Amino acid sequence: MDLSWMAWTKPTAFFFVVIVSLLLLMSIWEAIKPGGGPRVGILRFETTRGDRLFLSLLGSAFINLAWLGLVGSNLWWALGVSVLYAIFVFCFV
């Protein structure tokens, strides 16, 4: 399989490993404790663990894209903001 079109750097590989790990961990968590822990947060509609993971991944993608466009290619601060955003989503949404 020719993957030369993709810039397979260590950060890129780490990114995909983290995403796959999150999906596997959430699947295991759902198998052990089904139901997704539905609750109503600040958005005023019911969300499950999977919904909150999706919102945190989607928001993190937008944070990183905005960071690239507005600040530059040093994404370590964007990673920190993304982690804080994900914690916020899992706690309050």
Q: What digits encode the pLDDT tens for the residues 19-59?
A: 999 999 999 998 998 887 799 999 899 999 989 999 999 99
CA dist., res. 30 & res. 13, Å (int)? 26
CA dist., res. 64 & res. 82, Å (int)? 8
Kindly report, residue by residue over 57-80, the tens digit of the pLDDT. Answer: 999 999 999 999 999 888 889 989
Taking the CB of residue 57, how many other CB atoms lie within 10 A of it? 16
Q: In this predicted structure, what is the pLDDT of residue 54?
A: 93
Sequence-distant (6+) residues with CB within 8 A of 47 are 38, 39, 40, 41, 55, 93
Secondary structure class of 48 (helix, strand, coil): coil
Amino acid in the structure at residue 93: V
